[in-house]
Structure 1
Amino acid sequence: MLKSLPGKRVGVNNIGDYTAIELIGRDRPGLLSEIFAVLSDLHINVVAAEVWTHNRRIACVLYVNDDSTIHNVNDASRLSSLEEQLKNILCGCGDDETLAHMSFSVGSTHVDRRLHQLLFADRDYEGNCLKTEPDYSTSLKPNITIDRCEEKRYLVVNVRSKDRPKLMFDIVCTLTDMQYVVSHATISSDGPYALQEYYIRRMDGCTVDIEGEREKVIKCLEAAIRRRVSEGLSLELCAKDRVGLLSDVTRVLRENGLSVMRAGVTTVGDQAIHVFYVSDAAGNPVDMKTIEGLRQEIGHKMMLNVKKVPTNTKSLESSGWDKTSFFFGSLLEKFRS
């Protein structure tokens, strides 16, 4: 079943009529480029999108419309073709079909909240993600412990992690998905670190005190924190919006051996403002020669701003904050001037 969702807000921009698409599957080099190429071929424009990758899985929430009508896509044959092609792409690396999922969303859940739900349901917290992400700095790994409060029959979750925007949001979302209620919490900071303490209890009122359950909570919270962390380089792009823009950009990234770890897609009027957090195909830091080649290839067509994301505590302390949030005002101003 498919419904139009007028007035949906993504970020700070009113999207209007659109079709919402949810995708989840095994991540691989070039996958995002293939997804956007299918949308471009069907003359479907991406108005906004959020893409997260974690532990070799990818989750996307895309908000699209018909390029000719600027309204939601309501042609049954196009939707059927779109669904078939996207499912084929998601299963393109030999996955069992049960490991990939595509749907037309009819809910109005906050996009970040929905990405957490998709990845949690996909069990991205299983396995050793550190071994699959070579660029991950062990000094940034969150320290999570769980104790029991006998007097109040709570489980007490203590989290020490690199501070960043939406850290508490990510943790509380995951506790909620695990059917826990947060009775109260304390939040403080220590330099570049956040110290958070949560008193939790199951929604059914029980206090589960099983070692396996504690280990699962720790793994799930580590995954929740890792999903939004992006290390290495961020590429901020600003250009006149058009069908096929994302297909062209992600194709160039793929041809230059870059993998997208996380992405945010936004439109403001007729301007497209996108951010891509990238690594090389093996997950290692990007060679600056590659970035210079990328700048020469697309820099004359759009504004391109390259930022290095701090990956160790020393750089965090010197900067005072991990600037992973997106600030596009100056970039958009430059593009319009």
Structure 2
Amino acid sequence: MTYSLENGLLDELIEKHRPLCQQGSLPSYIPALTNPQQHLAGISIIDIKGSRYNSGDYLLPFTIQSISKIITLTMAILDQGEDFVFSRVGAEPTEDKFNSILPLEISSAYPPNPMINAGAIVVTSLINGKTSQEKMDRILNFTRKLANNPEISVNEEVFISERRTGNKNISLAYYLKDANVLLGEVEDVLDTYFRHCSISLTASDLANIALVYSQDGKSLTGEQLIPPMVCRQVRTIMAMSGFYDESGRFARRVGIPAKSGVGGGILGVVPNRMGIGFYGPSLNTKGTSIVGFDVLEELIEKLDLSIY
């Protein structure tokens, strides 16, 4: 059977997979992220012609969490150059959890990739800016530009919640500083890190950002926001490590570059075709939207969009 992308298909997939939310959970280690109702689910897709398709709770705001890591990686490469960035952090997948310290202790103090928390904290330290506020202003403004939404802001409640309870991330940062991997002052880097993870946006915003990465850095209007080579590097990292120790399963079952976040978001990139944004706060045991994983799997299969 041949399927075409339309709102009716998205409605069907959302309602088919929404019951999975009952099998998931909310991230209790960030108290402010336990507020959403688990049954929420929404998807937004924009293709390279500018056609948009939406379903469900695609306009509800949520925090970007680890999806911000692709934005900060992009900025660090633009600020410092590819060679320097990947001299401080690797580009290899890992089977360890996203917040694990084990890779740093067992093999090297340099994090294996920029998507795990240790790697993202190092990447955050590489972004230009004299102060934490200046760095954060640059990250926020770049995010707004990618999403074509000047109203995007930081959710202060979530930021405070993460800053108060993010003990594993704090310990990672101090370990990295002690190993001379982290640049700058630890507390300043952590403030920037927790703030960019607390950026609030919608699935529609995520789709706009994803479209830029699908078009080798060009916006829908044709403006070159990211150099093509940088865009390809980030897409490659997403494909290998965007879902941490679930990345292989996602690549096998879904088959597109994508990034998850424990806020319930998934950003998906279909190169030269479309950008996808999904929101569903109920998470599986790996920290991925449990509804989003299965919706994207069936969507990509029906439309034959896998890159593999």
Q: TM-score range by the shorter chain?
A: 0.3 to 0.5
TM-score, reference length from structure 2 = 0.36
Q: Which has the higher contact order (CA 8 A, sep 6+)?
A: 2
Bigger fraction of residues in helix: 2
TM-score, reference length from structure 1 = 0.33
Rg bigger for which structure?
1
